Amino acid sequence: MTPLLSIRDLRVGFGRNPQANEVVRGVSFDLADGETLAIVGESGSGKSVTALSINRLIDFGGGRITGGSMQLKRANGTIFDLMSATEPQLTGIRGAEIGMIFQEPMTSLNPVLTIGSQIEESFRLHRGLTGRQATAAARDALDRVRIPDAARRLKYTPNQLSGGMLQRVMIAIALACNPRLLIADEPTTALDVTVQAQIMALLAELKRESAMSMIFITHDIGLVAGIADKVMVMQNGQAVEQGELNQILDNPRHPYTQHLLHAVPHFANGRATRADGQRDKDAGAEPALKVDGLVVRFPLKSNFFSRATGAVHAVDGVDFDLMPGETLAIVGESGSGKSTTAKAVLGLVRSTRGSFSVSTRTASAERSAKPVQMVFQNPYASLNPRLTIESILAEPVIATGGRVDTETRARMASLLERVGLPKNSLQRYPHEFSGGQRQRLCIARALMLNPSVVVLDEAVSALDVSVQAKVLELLVDLQREFGLAYLFISHDMAVVERIAHRIAVIYAGQIVEIGDATSVLSKPKHSYTKKLIAAVPTIDRRREHFEIDTRQVPSLVRPQGFEPAPAKWELLGADHIVRVET
């Protein structure tokens, strides 16, 4: 039987001389009807380019297919050559036979059209439906991706829906014409873990219902376990290994696959937490950071002249303390207030109420001028592209009134060496460094002022898994060496398990559960903590079905003068308390 899609020796290049500048270098695979192929690789491995070549969208991205063959079996059984197809022919194929969903649902939809009209467009173009028929079809499509209250949602514009809902809409559009092949390019990367779990469950279910084939592209090898039949691992534009799911995950042959599987943080339900640097119970040490009743509210005004009618309660009564040498992880989903908490601690947003006290004593007993420093999520955005590394590292010193003298230069050199960057880095510019190296630079910059607390706001989330593992190692080493206290903000439970001593779970601006890492991860009590833990993808979870839970995070907008009821806490262990759910 001929496969649905047969790719042989695909080569894709970019630029003026595509042959010399190949990004995909000879990729071959077959995809049978109803089968799911997962393409796994790190950024720059050519996985997205491969996928975009299949429906020839790569032509619009400046790429040229320089060699190979691509054949698609059409619904009527004829073989269609995707390589030699003309643009009008391809327009008929895209959407009708090959559907595609992208990474960013927020930017893939047109913000000024209702989602209804955007779904109808697909039906109008490929099935010739008009008017009421198209509307009915769109409503069915929304029902199919389990969006509750579909008829009403058709009239919504994208800004009225959450990221997870929008990705459902994208899936609905992609599936509108019952394509026989769905290409999903990192469809859950931009989404929260619990939403990711829902989307993965939905995709798995839809695949069973409709018997379509799927190409699922991801950088997270942990995700493929739940959905793929076959896995292809890509590195530097070549498929280094491909085979059945179980074979790849259990018996990887290629060193790169082994490396990937090793580097991906496996979530172990609290069994892999850190043993070092535990809190010393009886030493009455002064906390490096103590946050007491932190409240951050943003007033809402409908227009310039009117009075505030309500407020966004971004952070609503958060307190914790952080000992020197300790990592407190703050976990939660986007919009839960975890980043706002960090920014308030750093003084980047003004807190409405509450107090912090920061110990200015550092491990080396010097007093630091700025004891709290931060490392940001995106290493590409947090370094000024026009400054040399030397100027970047000098900035904190200049900012605190210091001079760039031999002592400062010596400190720069030693910190660069400490974070594992070459000595000649000082005269270079940020763009000459990779993402992981830039994050090391950010860490070095944060350490220039000898801080006692470092806030790591999703500091490893933007990095590839193998780089991520190394940066985490570096962070742990630095913590031991300098006695740093980390406030580690993350949504990734597996990473948190690696680095945290204590965990605070934050939900709708409030801490719902806090305690030592082992206890929180192994015996979660609060329903939200349980939900977060259940959503973590792991490679041990072969074809396990996620339950679809479409509950949304409650609105944080409260009427003017609203005060939350005081929290009731339940003690679960020596260092583990949970907010009593109402």
Partner 1 sequence: MRILRAILGHGSGRIGGIIVGVYLMVAILGLVGLTPHNPITQYRVDRLHAPSAAYWMGTDLFGRDVASRLMAGIGQSFTVAFFSVAFAALAGTVLGLAAAWLGRRWDGAVMRIMDVLLAFPAILLALLIVTVAGPGTWTSVVAIGIVYTPIFTRVVRGPALSLKAREFVDAARTFGSSSSYIVTRHLLLNLVAPLTVQVTLALAWALLTEAGLSFLGLGTQPPAASLGLMLSDSRNLMETAPWLMIFPGLTIMISILGFNLLGDALRDILDPKMRRAPA
Q: Least CB distance from residue 375 to partner 1, whole Å?
A: 9
Q: Site map for partner 1, 396-415, x if CB under 8 A?
A: x-xxx---------------
Q: Does residue 390 bind partner 1 (CB under 8 A)?
A: no
Piece in contact with partner 1 (CB under 8 A), picked from 49-57, 163-171, 382-390, 568-576: 382-390
Among 383, 462, 500, 539, binds partner 1 (CB under 8 A): 383
- Cβ closest to partner 1, residue 233 vs residue 448: 448
Q: Least CB distance from residue 434 to partner 1, whole Å?
A: 14
The Cβ of residue 243 has, within 10 Å, a number of other Cβ atoms equal to 16
- Cβ closest to partner 1, residue 298 vs residue 429: 429
Q: Least CB distance from residue 448 to partner 1, whole Å?
A: 8
Q: Least CB distance from residue 428 to partner 1, whole Å?
A: 6
Residue among 529, 562, 534, 564 at smallest CA distance from 548? 534
Q: Does residue 372 bind partner 1 (CB under 8 A)?
A: yes
Q: Least CB distance from residue 397 to partner 1, whole Å?
A: 8
Q: Least CB distance from residue 386 to partner 1, whole Å?
A: 4
Q: Site map for partner 1, 418-457, x if CB under 8 A?
A: ---------xxx-xx---------x--x---x--------
The Cβ of residue 6 has, within 10 Å, a number of other Cβ atoms equal to 18
Is 275 exposed, middle or buried, given 0-12, 13-18 or 19+ CB atoms closer than 10 A?
exposed
Q: Does residue 346 bind partner 1 (CB under 8 A)?
A: yes
Q: Does residue 211 bind partner 1 (CB under 8 A)?
A: no
- Cβ closest to partner 1, residue 36 vs residue 373: 373
* CA–CA separation, 326 and 277 (whole Å): 7
Tokens at 86, concatenated:
């003309």
Stated as kind and residue range, the H or E segment containing 248 is helix 245-250
Q: Least CB distance from residue 455 to partner 1, whole Å?
A: 8
* CA–CA separation, 582 and 572 (whole Å): 17
Alpha-carbon torsion, ordered 171, 111, 103, 142, to 10 deg: -10
Query: Which residues neighbour 252 within 8 Å (Cβ) at sequence distance 6 or greater?
Result: 241, 258, 261
* CA–CA separation, 169 and 101 (whole Å): 10
Q: Does residue 386 bind partner 1 (CB under 8 A)?
A: yes
Contact 117, 94 (CB under 8 A): no
Contacts of partner 1 in 543-572 (CB under 8 A): none
* CA–CA separation, 456 and 339 (whole Å): 10
Among 136, 387, 413, 553, binds partner 1 (CB under 8 A): 387
Among 269, 334, 391, 434, binds partner 1 (CB under 8 A): 391
- C-alpha Rg value of the chain to the nearest Å: 26
The Cβ of residue 68 has, within 10 Å, a number of other Cβ atoms equal to 17
Beta sheet of 98-101, edge-to-edge order: 98-101, 181-185, 213-218, 36-40, 230-235, 238-244
List the beta bridge partners of residue 233.
40, 241
- Cβ closest to partner 1, residue 393 vs residue 505: 393
- Cβ closest to partner 1, residue 198 vs residue 373: 373
- 3-class DSSP string for 278-290: CCCCCCCCCCCEE
Measured over the CA atoms of residue 200, residue 204, residue 207 and residue 213, the dihedral's sign is: positive
Among 354, 395, 418, 466, binds partner 1 (CB under 8 A): 395
Q: What is the DSSP code (8-state) at residue 159?
A: G
Q: Does residue 521 bind partner 1 (CB under 8 A)?
A: no
* CA–CA separation, 174 and 183 (whole Å): 9
- Cβ closest to partner 1, residue 228 vs residue 475: 475
- Cβ closest to partner 1, residue 98 vs residue 459: 459
Q: What is the DSSP code (8-state) at residue 489?
A: E
Tokens at 125, concatenated:
């173009």
Query: Which residues neighbour 408 within 8 Å (Cβ) at sequence distance 6 or greater?
Result: 394, 397, 402
Among 384, 414, 522, 552, binds partner 1 (CB under 8 A): 384
Q: Does residue 381 bind partner 1 (CB under 8 A)?
A: yes
Q: What is the DSSP code (8-state) at residue 94?
A: B
> How many of the chain's residues bind partner 1 (CB under 8 A)?
32
- Cβ closest to partner 1, residue 346 vs residue 572: 346
- Cβ closest to partner 1, residue 347 vs residue 564: 347
Q: Least CB distance from residue 376 to partner 1, whole Å?
A: 5
Q: Least CB distance from residue 366 to partner 1, whole Å?
A: 17
Q: Map residue 117 onto helix, strand or coil.
A: helix
Is 269 exposed, middle or buried, given 0-12, 13-18 or 19+ CB atoms closer than 10 A?
middle
Q: Does residue 348 bind partner 1 (CB under 8 A)?
A: yes
3-state helix, strand, coil in the chain (%, to 5): 35, 25, 40
* CA–CA separation, 468 and 466 (whole Å): 5
Angle subtended by helix axes 527-534 and 193-210, to nearest 10: 50
Q: Does residue 308 bind partner 1 (CB under 8 A)?
A: no
Piece in contact with partner 1 (CB under 8 A), picked from 4-12, 314-322, 345-353, 465-473: 345-353
Among 216, 256, 320, 376, binds partner 1 (CB under 8 A): 376
Q: Least CB distance from residue 374 to partner 1, whole Å?
A: 5
Q: Least CB distance from residue 358 to partner 1, whole Å?
A: 13
Q: Site map for partner 1, 84-123, x if CB under 8 A?
A: ----------------------------------------
Q: Least CB distance from residue 62 to partner 1, whole Å?
A: 17
Q: Least CB distance from residue 383 to partner 1, whole Å?
A: 6
Per the document, the length of the chain is 582
Q: List residues binding partner 1 (CB under 8 A).
A: 346-348, 369-370, 372-374, 376-378, 381-387, 391, 395-396, 398-400, 427-429, 431-432, 442, 445, 449
